[in-house]
Structure 1
C-alpha cells in the first residue's frame, strides 16, 4: 500500500483528480454567483411578509396585507436597483467615488431620507391618479392597488435587466392608471394630472440637459480654456460650490424635509440664497489652500471638484429616498388602510413598518443589483470627469426647483439622465465648434474627415435610443400590464 502511495503515476492521477474537483468547484461557484442576489432578495421579500403577519396577526384580511407587503418589498428592491443609479452614476463615472463607496453612501442617505422625511407623496400616488370613489368597494380598490404595485415592479425589473434607467414614479403612475381604467373605466382617471405627467417626459430631460450644458459651458469658458487655469479656478470654484450649496439647500427644503416642516417656495429660495453665500465665503480659503502647488492643466482641476461631487451625490440620495420611497409604499399603505378600516377614500396614513420596508428595500436593491445601471449611467452614455459630473448633479437640483416654481411634475430619473446627455451633446457641439475654428485659423492643418468625426461621437446613440424608447413606453406599458393583472385577479377571486 505504501509503495502504491509513493508511486509517481499514482500521484499524477491524484493531481488530475484534484484538478478536476477544483474545476468543478470553480464552475459551481460561477454558476451559483448570479443566484446569490436573487436569493437574498427573496429572503428580504419573505421577511417583509412575515413582518406584516406579525403586525396584523389578528385581522381578517391578513393574507391580503402579507401579499401586499411582499409586493411592496419587491418594488422597493427594483427602485434601488434602477433609480438610485441616477444619483450615484455620475460620481462613480467621474472616479470621485468607488463603486463600494457609492453604494455605502447611497444606502445610508437613501434610508435616512426615506425614514426621516419620506411619505409626503403617498397620498398623491395612491389617490391623485384615480378617483377612489369610482372603485365602488374597498375590495376593488385593494385589487387595483395590488395590480398597480405588481405591474410597476415587473416593468422596472425588466428595464433594469435590459439596462434602461426608467422613472419608477411613472411606472407606478401607469400601474395605478391601468388598474383604475380596468376597474371603473376611463372616467376614473384624473386626466389633467396625467397630462402634466406626460408633459414631464419632454420637459424633465430637456431642462436637466440644458442646465447641465449651461454650467459645463461656464466651466469651460471661465476655467478650462483660460491661460492660467488655477487662478481662474480659485475665483470660480468657490462660486460654483456656493451655487451648488444654495441649490441643494433649497431643493432639500422643498422636496426632502417637507414631512418635518412645511416650507413654501419663497422661504426655500431665501434658505438657498443664504446657504449659498455662506458656503461661497467659506470655500474661498479652502480652494486657495487645495490649489497650492497644482500644475496649470486640466487634470489638476479635477481635484477641486471631487469633494463637492461626493457631497452632492449624498444629498441627492437623501432627497431621492424622501421622495421615491413613496413609489413602493404608497399602494402598500393604501392597501393596509383599506384592509384595516374598509376606508379607501380618506387620506392615507403610513405605518412606520411600511416605511421601513420601503427604506430597506431600496438599500438592498441598490446593494444587490445597482452596480449595473450605475456603470451605465456613469460611464457608458458619455465619458464623465468631476467637472461634467458636477454639472449633472447641479442640474438635478436646479431643475427640480425650477419645475416646482412652474408647478410642473418632473422625474428625477429623466432629469439626471437628461443631464448626462446634455453634457455629452454639449461636448460634441463644442468639439465641432473648435474644429471649425481651427479650419478657419489654420486652413493647412489636417482635419478629421466627416466619417471619422462620426465615429468619434461623444454620446453613444444606441443607449440614447434605448433609454428614450423605455421612457416613452413606461406609462402605457405599466398601465397595460396592470389592467391585465387586475382582470386576472378578479377572475381568480370572483
Structure 2
C-alpha cells in the first residue's frame, strides 16, 4: 500500500473524527436553552436534535464546503505533503475542541479548523498557499480567509442584535399574556430546536465535507472539487453521532452562566440562531454556532436586564474566541513536525 493511499485513508478518518468532535463539542449549543427552559427532557431533545442534525448536511447544499475547501491552495504542493498538512490542521482543531470541551468553555470549532489549517499550511508550504483574499477585497470581492473571517466576526454581532430585537418583538406580542403562556412557548421550541439543529448540521458538517473532498482531490481519487453524495452522508452520520454522544459540559455555561434563561428567552435564542446560521449556510459563509448562540443569549439578556447578564463569563468566553485561531495553529504546527518525522523529508 502506497504512502499516498495510507495518508488519504488516514485523512478521511481524521476528517470524520473532527466532524464527530464538532458535533460532540457543539451539542451544548443546540440543547442548552432547551434544557435550561425545561422545554424538553434530554431524551426528547436527543431525538429531535439528532433527526434534524442528520438532515441538515444532506439538504443544506454545499456552498460552505466550497468556501472551506478552497481557502488553501495545495494543487502545486506534492500530494503526500498536502495530505500531511491537512492531517496536521485537523489534529490542531480536534485537540482544541477536546481541550475546550474538557474545561467547559464554548469555543468555536470553525475557528479551530481555520487556525489549524492556516498554521499547518504556512509553516510547511508558505503563506502564498493560503488564499488570504486581500487583493480581491480591494476590488469588492469577498473570498478566501477574508470571507471566512468576515463570517466568523460578523455573525456574533448579528446574533447579539438579532437576539436583542427578537426578545423585544416577542415581549410586545406577549405583553398581555399570562404565565400559562410559558407552556405554549415550551411547545414552540420543538419547532425552533429542530430548525436550529438543521441549520447547525447544514453549516458545520459542510466544513468537514469541504475538507474530505479536498483530501480526495489531492489524493487523486476525484478529478475536480465536487462533493460526492457519500461524503455528505458520511459527514451527516459523523456529526449526528457526535451530537447524540452529548458533550454537554458546556450546557451549564450557555444555559445558566450567561443569563437566566426562561421559555421566552430560549425561543428567542433558537429563532435568532437558526435564522442567522441557515442564512449563512445558503450564501456559503462558515459561521460559529457557538458564537451565534452565546451572543444571542447576551443580546436577549441585554434587551431585558443588562445588569443581570454575567459579563465576566461573557468576557472569559470572548478571550477564548480570540486565542482559538493562534492556539489551534500552534498545535497544528507541532503536529506537522511529528507527521513529517514519519513520512520523511518531502
Q: Shorter-chain TM-score category?
A: 0.7 to 0.9
Distance (Å, rounded) in 1 between the aligned partners of 2:110 and 2:131: 16
Distance (Å, rounded) in 2 between the aligned partners of 1:211 and 1:402: 13
The answer to whether structure 1 residue 80 and structure 2 residue 23 are counterparts is yes
Match of 2:164 in 1: 213
Match of 2:342 in 1: 492
The answer to whether structure 1 residue 478 and structure 2 residue 343 are counterparts is no
Q: 1:476 Cα shift?
A: 1.8
Distance (Å, rounded) in 1 between the aligned partners of 2:61 and 2:169: 35
The answer to whether structure 1 residue 464 and structure 2 residue 314 are counterparts is yes
C-alpha contact (below 8 Å) 2:203/2:277 kept by paired residues? no
TM-aligned CA distance change 1:409 to 1:68, over 3 Å: closer
Distance (Å, rounded) in 2 between the aligned partners of 1:381 and 1:207: 18
Match of 1:140 in 2: 81
C-alpha contact (below 8 Å) 2:65/2:284 kept by paired residues? no
2:308 partner SS: coil
1:24-103 pair list within 5 angstroms:
61-103=4-46
2:51 partner SS: helix
Match of 1:176 in 2: 117
Unaligned residue ranges in structure 2 (runs of 5+): 134-143
Match of 2:154 in 1: 203
TM-aligned CA distance change 1:337 to 1:187, over 3 Å: closer
Matching residue within 354, 366, 369 for 2:243: 366
The answer to whether structure 1 residue 125 and structure 2 residue 5 are counterparts is no
Match of 2:141 in 1: none
From the CA coordinates, give the structure whose radius of gyration is larger.
1
C-alpha contact (below 8 Å) 1:181/1:188 kept by paired residues? yes
Q: 1:104 Cα shift?
A: 1.7
The answer to whether structure 1 residue 394 and structure 2 residue 271 are counterparts is yes
2:323 partner SS: helix
Distance (Å, rounded) in 2 between the aligned partners of 1:333 and 1:162: 32
Distance (Å, rounded) in 1 between the aligned partners of 2:285 and 2:50: 29
C-alpha contact (below 8 Å) 1:118/1:325 kept by paired residues? no
Distance (Å, rounded) in 2 between the aligned partners of 1:185 and 1:143: 14
Matching residue within 294, 309, 317 for 1:417: 294
Q: 1:181 Cα shift?
A: 0.7
Q: 1:81 Cα shift?
A: 1.6
Q: 1:409 Cα shift?
A: 5.6
Distance (Å, rounded) in 1 between the aligned partners of 2:242 and 2:206: 15
Tell me which moved more, 152-161 or 354-363.
354-363
Distance (Å, rounded) in 2 between the aligned partners of 1:62 and 1:119: 26
Q: 1:99 Cα shift?
A: 1.7
1:191 partner SS: coil
Query: What do the CA deviations read for 1:123-172 (whole angstroms, capped 9, x no partner)?
Result: 32122x22223x42111211111111111111111111111222222222
Distance (Å, rounded) in 1 between the aligned partners of 2:63 and 2:15: 17
Match of 1:349 in 2: 227
C-alpha contact (below 8 Å) 1:116/1:322 kept by paired residues? yes
Distance (Å, rounded) in 1 between the aligned partners of 2:59 and 2:180: 38
TM-score, structure 2 length as denominator? 0.86
Query: What do the CA deviations read for 1:178-222 (whole angstroms, capped 9, x no partner)?
Result: 122122212222222323433444422221111111121233345
Tell me which moved more, 164-173 or 146-155.
164-173
TM-aligned CA distance change 1:351 to 1:488, over 3 Å: farther
1:121 partner SS: helix
- What CA RMSD, in Å, does the superposition of the two structures yield over aligned residues? 2.7
Query: What do the CA deviations read for 1:27-50 (whole angstroms, capped 9, x no partner)?
Result: xxxxxxxxxxxxxxxxxxxxxxxx
Unaligned residue ranges in structure 1 (runs of 5+): 1-57, 231-296, 430-456
Q: 1:397 Cα shift?
A: 3.6
Distance (Å, rounded) in 1 between the aligned partners of 2:280 and 2:48: 27
Q: How many residues of Structure 1 are paired with residues of Structure 2 in the alignment?
A: 334
Distance (Å, rounded) in 1 between the aligned partners of 2:229 and 2:90: 18
C-alpha contact (below 8 Å) 1:119/1:350 kept by paired residues? no
C-alpha contact (below 8 Å) 1:216/1:391 kept by paired residues? yes
